[in-house]
Amino acid sequence: MMKVGILDTEKIISREFITGPTSTHLLEGKEIVEEKDLKGIDALLICKNQQFGIREICEWVIKIKTHESVPIWVATTEKQLGEKSIYLQLGVCGIFEKDYTVEEIDLSIGNSLQAMKQNKNTQDETYSGKSFILDPLRLSLSIGKNNVPLTRLEYCLLEVLYENKGEVCTYKMLAEALLGKEMLADFDLAQSRIANIVCKVRAKIAQTNRGKQDLIKTIRSRGYMLTLSA
């Protein structure tokens, strides 16, 4: 049984999860009110309502991503694609929009957590003598015991670099994978955006790994390379 924390100020969804068994029998609900309540949960569902809007949701997501490695979903009765994009860019795993059901939430989160539990592969690679693990569900990088929370674009960057470790990933290749082919029409802008993402990832790694930034090597005028043998 996996525990999903539910941040629901109106207590509509939390009541259904916590009062009885869910349809998959995989999840157990736990009401979240304060940060200390996050301890011991496997996932978090944040419910948007009139009392708890986009600002509060973003604050919680950023706060959690900074300190914890917990996959997050958002439920809302609205359907605003712009807002959905904001949540996804912050690293939320998924959004349940208008007309969702509690069963849908239960199945989606339960199946995702079950798949993660069964199929989580620890890479055999090491970096500075420490294990190197990319977690697609939590959008994070673990180096030894240090966890690095990532945005979707940052995770995508490391995923592409990891799949081609030891080889140069060109600016064009990275721009297509992260930003889409349409961005190649303005290659200078695409290159600048890739460089900015790399800079942010390096800073996060350095902050949690004793200042080391040599995981991603710059190949002048060509692109970047992942060097796990550092």
Tell me the per-residue pLDDT of 54-71, one tens digit each, with 9 for 90 and over: 899 998 888 887 666 788
Average pLDDT value for residue range 84-93: 84
pLDDT of residue 148: 87
Residue 198, CB-side half-sphere exposure with 13 Å CA sphere? 24
Rounded CA-CA distance 69/2 in Å is: 15
Question: Averaging pLDDT over each range in 63-72, 102-111, 127-136, 146-155, which range is the top one?
Answer: 146-155
For residue 13, what are its two tokens?
A: 């969804």
pLDDT of residue 218: 94
pLDDT of residue 67: 64
Report which residue type is found at 65: K
pLDDT of residue 120: 52
Rounded CA-CA distance 190/151 in Å is: 18
pLDDT of residue 212: 62
For residue 8, what are its two tokens?
A: 């629901």
- What is the pLDDT of the chain when averaged over all its residues? 80
Higher pLDDT, 12 or 85: 85
Confidence check: pLDDT of 130 > 90 = no
Higher pLDDT, 33 or 227: 227
Query: How far is residue 65 from each of residues 59, 61, 173, 209, measured CA to CA in Å?
Result: 10, 6, 28, 17
Beta strand pairing status for 126-127 and 130-135? antiparallel
Tell me the domains of the chain and their CATH numbers: 2-119 (3.40.50.2300), 126-226 (1.10.10.10)
**What digits encode the pLDDT tens for the residues 157-210?**
999 999 898 899 999 999 999 988 888 889 899 999 999 999 999 998 888 776
Higher pLDDT, 229 or 120: 229
Confidence check: pLDDT of 115 > 80 = no
State the pLDDT confidence band at 123, using cuts at 50, 70 and 90: very low
